[in-house]
Structure 1
Amino acid sequence: MNDRAVSSTIGVVLLLGMTIAAVSALMVVGGTVIDETRADAERSQMENAMSSFSSKASLVGLGESGNQRFSLGRVSEGDVEVRPDGGRVTLYLQKDGGSREELNSTALGAVVYRDGDTEIAYQGGGVWQRRGESNWMLSPPEYHYRLETLTFPIMTVDGDGGSSGSVRGTVRSTHESSDWYPIQGSETRSNPLENGTILVEVESRYCAGWEAFFTERSEGSITESCGADDTLVVDLTVPFTISGEDAVIAKTINPTGGGGPGGGKKIPDGWTEGTIAPSISPEVEAELESCATDGCADVSASELSSGAYDASGTTALYGKTFNTTDGDITVVTDGDVELNDITITGSGNVTLYVRGELTVDSMVNDGGSATQLVTLVHSDGSVRFDGDSDYTGIIYAPKSDMRFNGAPAISYTGALVAEDMDIKGSINKFDFQPDPELEEYQIGGGDRPLTYLHVTENTVEIEFD
């Protein structure tokens, strides 16, 4: 046999083998790419379909429609199922200084599309996605916070079974919504809310998504972040913020002394009436307890440096210098205290926690910064201005009376917050100016209580064709 003929035959065989191997590899890789592309397309389609489903479920759950037909499209890579026990939501009422009282609790349920480690779910009125250990929000749940009114219709899911292929079905309401808050005739569940806050606990496989929603899109604050148990607790109130434009903020202002511009009863510009600010009592109590447990220094020295001090046995802070060069200073008192001739040095802050009556007389932080001196007054306490004074700082006494006795001449820079303000002297002798540095200043630990709360449980039932 000719060697050249043998070589030619071998070459053809090798070429065919290489071609077959290349085509096989291409088919395998190409098939994988096609499968991944098909799965990605299905997930993208499901995101849109779940958002559409969410709108239909809301119409039914909120009583705007008796039932709605839905279609989630064709599902070939994954499947869809109802999980009636998926997740749980619990509502708590926490009064100032008290423990949590459970108001109601229910399973949220969910409608879940699953493909491998990817889930796209409708739960609680929102749409969420989970991939591996990560999860996030695709569309927000029903939740509306306007001014001091919160409307929170909790959407729950009932039903069973699952579907694939062409996924269609009906979402219907099986019964009327159930009131969680307020409840007619109940003294403990009535509006307006006072001296407390509402907490929502959410347990969910999509906990991080819920947390992102409450953090970024609501006015709630996270009390307990998602942990290993996929549970978070949200305080539905928002921090009390001072705008930097109002020097006096109170629920009621009674200028009985007369002398106001344009008439004796007129409230001056920069004084805001009708504001219900949150109690700071729990924070005052916490600081007092901390001193009792960990110990605080006394305030006998004329100059105080960084640290915590207990002034409970002292009725007057006269001629004190608070040197904040090395750090902030905290002073707590379980009784009455008078501020007179107070100086702050350094760049740190001074915070006073007062459970009794606060009396202001003479110079207090004159020429300083309002943010450097914050006095927080318990609801058991009160505030009194007895004589001429020059004060720079914040006095936050939202559940206390504030009185101006005699006819003091007062120069005040910063913000005064009280419940009821009674003015015996002439308003014309008051020079109250806001401090621009207080723009968007938040009172630490103080949260505005919800004034009006409306929470309902709204159940929808899912039935696949």
Structure 2
Amino acid sequence: MVATVSTGLFLVAGETVTSLEQSSEQERVETAFVELSQQMSTASSNADVLQSMDLEVGNDGAIVKKETGNITVSSDALDDDINLTIGTIEYEGEDGTILAYQAGSVFRETGNETRVLSSPPIYYERTTETLTLPVVTVSGEQDLGTGSVGISHEETETFRESSVVENESVTITVQSEYYRGWESYFEQQAGDTVVRNIDHDTQTVEVQVGYLSVDEAFEDGIVVSENFDDFDNADVEDGTVREGAMPELDPIIEEMIDDHEDDDSLPTTDGTIAGNKTYFEDEITIDSEDELVVDTSAGNTTIIADGNTSIEGELVADPGGTDHELRMYTTGHFDIEGGNISVTDGNAGQLQLYGTSDTHVGIGPGKSSFHGTIYAPRDEPWGDTENEVFHQGQCSEQVCMQSNVDFTGALIASSANVHSASVNFEYDDELENNDIDLYPETYSLPPQLTYLNVAHHEVNIDNRGR
């Protein structure tokens, strides 16, 4: 009995020592790979100096693999896609854990889980509106052993003819065995919404940087940058929901407030008012028994509210057979509870509601209808912020709809929650042919992304003295 127990303790102790040794070696290799990524980056920008370092890769060493994947950069602003090959330096531990240097990043992969140990040098400079994408790849294929290695710059290819992408989004597609690590990196840096597609079969992740084209704003029924929640299987027309980011209108609306705060106020909220002008209000309230008809037959009409808009009655845009539009801008919230918003003998593009990135929209509860467009996107995540105008207290999205709501048109926001099966949402097909301006031509938004700085660096690494 004593011998058996002693042997068991010996075996456990032996396994523990082995496990500690493996763990210690892996930690040393991780540290070495992170330093390696820094040295590779330095070498990529300095062709005259040979970099050197002591590389710890255990007894089995590491492998340099050339052309193990590629990064493709595409945009409507580019004549041709930019295709960049990438190589990998890999170390595999005895427990199957893989450490990989790839295109400036370091990943640790265990089974189906990939962790980012060192981020690639991809960054966005807000002040210059520049996306910089330096891709470092390794040349040659060889084995690396523990000891001193030399790192030298081979060549750099730049793409200066593709530098200006003003007002266009950029798609970055990474095809790599470590695509899960790239997915994790982009989600950590810019949020879930930048990741547009993941293909496990081809080991590909596709991300989009920058806004969608403004021309695309109303080509889909619902565009959200964060999430859409069809809570109770509401009647939402197939193919109408899309993920994407649109520019915030905050600076435009604030500027409009400053320019028009001395304009005429609405003469009434229960009756017909003349169009072809701009009205200004601190807040707008249309009571349940009221009907405000805006006669836009003489020209486009703008209503600006430096505060909340509440509609329990009816708001009607009457273009009288013309293509004129009613535009409403607010710094506050839209609360449509039991109200009806519509266009007489027209399409959804002729009644447009615009809010800031902090605008909350509530439609319902109670029988409500909306025929028009709502535009209130947000750059930052909405998170779990409770919707302030949705009276049920059960919605934490920017736009909330519940209970006997008929919505025809289009919606652009950070997030939306269609909260009950009695909601009917349909895209107005006539919006596909509409040339809607989000704001008067006297105003302009600064572009989110103007310049694209892409370079492909080839760096060589060798065991020194071999």
* TM-score interval (norm. to shorter): 0.5 to 0.7
Q: Partner residue of 1:172?
A: 152
Q: Partner residue of 1:346?
A: 364
Are residues 323 and 128 of structure 1, via their aligned partners in 2, closer, same or farther at CA, if it must alter by over 3 Å?
A: same
- Normalised to the residue count of structure 2, the TM-score between the two structures is 0.55
How many angstroms does 1:140 deviate by? 0.6
The more displaced of 345-354 and 234-243 is 345-354
Provide the C-alpha distance between the structure 1 equivalents of 2:71 and 2:53, rounded to a whole number of angstroms: 26
Residue 137 (structure 1) aligned with residue 191 (structure 2): no
Q: RMSD value over aligned CA atoms?
A: 4.8
Are residues 226 and 31 of structure 1, via their aligned partners in 2, closer, same or farther at CA, if it must alter by over 3 Å?
A: farther
How many angstroms does 1:380 deviate by? 7.0
- Paired letter, 1:463: D
How many angstroms does 1:463 deviate by? 1.3
Q: Partner residue of 2:381?
A: none
Cα contact 2:57–2:91 (8 A) shared by 1: no
Provide the C-alpha distance between the structure 2 equivalents of 1:332 and 1:108, rounded to a whole number of angstroms: 57
SS of structure 2 residue aligned to 1:63: coil
How many angstroms does 1:32 deviate by? 1.7
SS of structure 2 residue aligned to 1:129: strand
SS of structure 2 residue aligned to 1:113: strand
SS of structure 2 residue aligned to 1:136: strand
Are residues 326 and 460 of structure 1, via their aligned partners in 2, closer, same or farther at CA, if it must alter by over 3 Å?
A: farther
The structure with the greater share of residues assigned to strand is: 1
Cα contact 1:178–1:458 (8 A) shared by 2: yes
Q: Percent identity?
A: 20
Residue 156 (structure 1) aligned with residue 174 (structure 2): no
How many angstroms does 1:81 deviate by? 0.7
Q: Partner residue of 1:214?
A: 186
Which structure 2 segments of 5+ residues have no match?
Answer: 212-244, 264-312, 327-334, 354-361, 375-388, 391-397, 401-408, 413-430
Which structure 1 segments of 5+ residues have no match?
Answer: 1-17, 184-188, 261-301, 305-310, 355-367, 384-395, 403-417, 421-446
Provide the C-alpha distance between the structure 2 equivalents of 1:210 and 1:196, rounded to a whole number of angstroms: 23
Q: Partner residue of 2:166?
A: 194
Q: Partner residue of 1:85?
A: 67
Q: Partner residue of 2:207?
A: 234
Cα contact 2:29–2:57 (8 A) shared by 1: no
Larger radius of gyration: 1
Cα contact 1:137–1:212 (8 A) shared by 2: yes
- Normalised to the residue count of structure 1, the TM-score between the two structures is 0.55
- Paired letter, 1:89: I
Cα contact 1:159–1:461 (8 A) shared by 2: yes
Provide the C-alpha distance between the structure 2 equivalents of 1:115 and 1:171, rounded to a whole number of angstroms: 24
Residue 24 (structure 1) aligned with residue 64 (structure 2): no
Provide the C-alpha distance between the structure 1 equivalents of 2:121 and 2:249, rounded to a whole number of angstroms: 29
- Paired letter, 2:441: D
Q: Partner residue of 1:462?
A: 461
Are residues 349 and 62 of structure 1, via their aligned partners in 2, closer, same or farther at CA, if it must alter by over 3 Å?
A: farther
Task: Map residues 205-284 of structure 1 onto 2, 5 A cutoff.
Answer: 205-218=177-190, 221-225=194-198, 227-237=200-210, 239-240=245-246, 242=248, 247-248=253-254
- Paired letter, 2:112: E
Task: Name which of 435, 444, 454 aligns with 1:419.
Answer: 444
Q: Partner residue of 1:66?
A: 49
How many angstroms does 1:460 deviate by? 0.8
How many angstroms does 1:132 deviate by? 1.0
SS of structure 2 residue aligned to 1:456: strand
How many angstroms does 1:47 deviate by? 1.0
Cα contact 2:71–2:84 (8 A) shared by 1: yes
Are residues 74 and 198 of structure 1, via their aligned partners in 2, closer, same or farther at CA, if it must alter by over 3 Å?
A: closer
Q: Partner residue of 2:307?
A: none
Q: Partner residue of 2:350?
A: 337
